[in-house]
Amino acid sequence: MQKSTIQFLLINCFLAIVLVSCGSVTQNYTPKKLDKTSIEVPYFSDSKTDYVYKTNITVYGHEMSGIFIAKKINDTTHRVVFTTEFGNKLMDFEISENDFKVNSMVSELDRKILINTLEEDFHLLLKNKYLIQEQFENEENNIYKSADGKRDNYLFFSKKHQKLEKVVRSSKTKDKITITFTLENDIFAKKVVILHQNIKLKIELNYFKSE
Amino acid sequence: MKTKIALLILFISGSLFAQEQKMTAAEISKFKEDVNVVSKKIKTLSTDFVQYKHLDFLSKDIETSGKMFFKEPALLSWQYKKPYNYSIVFKNGKILINDEGKKSAVDIGNSKIFARINKLIVGSVSGNMFDDKEFTISYFKLKGQNLAKFIPKDATLKKYIKQIELTFNKEEATVVQVKLLESSDDYTRIVLKNKVINAKIDDSVFTN
């Protein structure tokens, strides 16, 4: 009797874990009435600012570092360049809502899977307008859901600071990419971390002021 | 009025010409000889540097600075101090990196391209890289300075660097500026100053 109770509990626990991990990404959030239908993100949107960050990339245990440079070059497009500390250009892209153009890429990094991953990351990082369909909250955040093709983007505004501090890109059941912002002020992020949940990739950006 | 403008244009273009004038064959051999004599004497070298990364679409160059140390035959340490701490040491076929305390090493023993880049950096700083097999070289005179332009012949190297320009102090025949051009619009310019030649450099500078 006791044995079967334990078995029953174990199975229940197992089922509970399976169900939790298969559940919707929003299941721990409380739905709320929509208070806005669009959100603009200002962190990379000023066309007069050179966004220059020291970068550390960890990919499957390998470390890489360099300098990440982004600039809004017209209404729709950002130029993104990644160089070594010495200044050699490793990648050079132009990226907009619907377009992604590789200007140059060193042959060592010229891999389709890498380019596709970075395209998705930088798209999300530099996106400055989201249309909102649903709203939720948890203890610390107001959470806005914005559909984006097969994926959904969730924008986390901390209740304490009333600022966008996290963007999560998810499928229906799993988080794929999390971007966290540490803010210098309302319109500028001094630190950005892009973390992938399905592959072992982390990109950390730390702003630096030129002398 | 028209003549004045024409004169002005003539004057401006004339002075532009005066800025960068081709050396004669005799001047080239004298210049190369001067640089060779000085660079042969270099056993150690330390210098401050300021690096300006110019990308045409940016409103301002990205400026970083630090110290560089070289010891014969091939110990080299670049130490960025501002605005971040990052140092890179070339030693016994290895690259040792210290990125704000985070250390890593890359074995370049077999990498031809890195060996070549290493040789290039040492050559750029000491000035002695007049290798006609590796580069197409052209020589110019400036006010108080000499300028040598190196175009790599090797296709692989050319993918990374379109041209290297070394500016020399005329009197001392040592390098005062290194410019690495990636394209016509984008380049890295490194200004060397407070150069000290043949002072004792502790080996600990080349551990990382």
Q: Does residue B199 lie in a domain region?
A: yes
pLDDT grade for A19, boundaries at 50, 70 and 90: very low
How many domains, chain A? 1
| Count of beta carbons in the 10 Å neighbourhood of residue B181 | 18
Q: Does residue A19 lie in a domain region?
A: no
pLDDT at B24: 95
List, for residues A26-71, the tens digit of each pLDDT value: 888 999 999 999 999 999 999 999 999 999 999 888 888 999 999 9
Contact state of A63 with B86 under an 8 Å Cβ cutoff: no
How many A/B residue pairs have CB atoms within 8 Å? 62
CA A196 and chain centroid, separation: 8
The closest CB to that of A65, out of B53, B55, B99, belongs to B99
The closest CB to that of B83, out of A48, A83, A208, belongs to A208
Contact state of A87 with B188 under an 8 Å Cβ cutoff: yes
Residues of B with Cβ-Cβ distance to A79 under 8 angstroms: 57
Tokens of B174: 């040592």
Q: Does residue A73 lie in a domain region?
A: yes
Task: Give the mutation candidate from B52, B68, B89, B99 for the A interface (greatest A CB count, under 10 A).
Answer: B99
- Asked if residue B7 has pLDDT above 80, the reply is no
The answer to whether the CB of A25 falls within 8 A of the CB of A136 is no
Q: Does residue B1 lie in a domain region?
A: no
The answer to whether the CB of A180 falls within 8 A of the CB of A161 is no
Fill in the amino acid letter for B26. A
Averaged pLDDT, B126-140:
86
Q: Which domain holds residue A90?
A: 29-207
pLDDT grade for A17, boundaries at 50, 70 and 90: very low
Q: Does residue B5 lie in a domain region?
A: no
- Using the Cβ of A67 and the Cβ atoms of chain B, whether some distance falls under 8 Å is answered with yes
Contact state of A87 with B53 under an 8 Å Cβ cutoff: yes
Q: Does residue A180 lie in a domain region?
A: yes
List, for residues B99-111, the tens digit of each pLDDT value: 988 888 877 666 6
**Residue A163 and residue A15: Cα distance in Å, rounded?**
37
Q: Does residue A15 lie in a domain region?
A: no
Q: Pick the range with the lowest mean pLDDT from A182-196, B16-30, B34-48.
A: B16-30
Q: Does residue B10 lie in a domain region?
A: no
Q: Does residue B14 lie in a domain region?
A: no
Ranges of H-type helices in chain B? 2-19, 25-41, 112-126, 155-160
Residues of A with Cβ-Cβ distance to B55 under 8 angstroms: 69, 81
Q: Does residue B150 lie in a domain region?
A: yes
Q: Does residue A9 lie in a domain region?
A: no
**Residue A37 and residue A150: Cα distance in Å, rounded?**
20
How many domains, chain B? 1
Tokens of B131: 């290798």
Q: Which domain holds residue B114?
A: 21-206
User: In chain B, whose CA is at the least distance from the CA of A78?
Assistant: B57
pLDDT at A209: 78
Q: Which residues of B touch A (CB under 8 A)?
A: 50-51, 53, 55, 57-65, 78, 80, 82-84, 86, 88, 97, 99, 102, 104, 159-160, 180, 182, 186, 188
Residue B196, phi then psi, degrees to nearest 5 = -125, 125
Q: pTM for the whole thing?
A: 0.84
Contact state of A71 with B57 under an 8 Å Cβ cutoff: yes
ipTM above 0.95, yes or no: no
| Max Cα-Cα span within chain A | 75
pLDDT at A15: 47
Q: Does residue A20 lie in a domain region?
A: no
Residues of A with Cβ-Cβ distance to B182 under 8 angstroms: 88-89
Omega cis (within 30) before B83: yes
pLDDT grade for B15, boundaries at 50, 70 and 90: very low
pLDDT at A137: 95
Task: Give the mutation candidate from B51, B58, B111 for the A interface (greatest A CB count, under 10 A).
Answer: B58
Contact state of B180 with A87 under an 8 Å Cβ cutoff: yes
pLDDT at A1: 47
pLDDT grade for A20, boundaries at 50, 70 and 90: very low
User: In chain B, whose CA is at the least distance from the CA of A84?
Assistant: B53
CB under 8 Å to A156, separation ≥6 — which residues?
Answer: A141, A142, A143, A164, A165, A166, A167, A168
Give the domain CATH number at A176. Answer: 2.50.20
Residues of A with Cβ-Cβ distance to B186 under 8 angstroms: 89
Q: Does residue B7 lie in a domain region?
A: no
List, for residues A139-187, the tens digit of each pLDDT value: 999 999 999 989 999 999 999 999 999 999 999 889 899 999 999 999 9
Residues of B with Cβ-Cβ distance to A67 under 8 angstroms: 53, 62
Contact state of A210 with B63 under an 8 Å Cβ cutoff: yes
| Averaged pLDDT of chain A | 88
Give the domain CATH number at B176. Answer: 2.50.20.10
pLDDT grade for B8, boundaries at 50, 70 and 90: low
Q: Does residue B11 lie in a domain region?
A: no
CB under 8 Å to A63, separation ≥6 — which residues?
Answer: A56, A57, B99, B102, B104
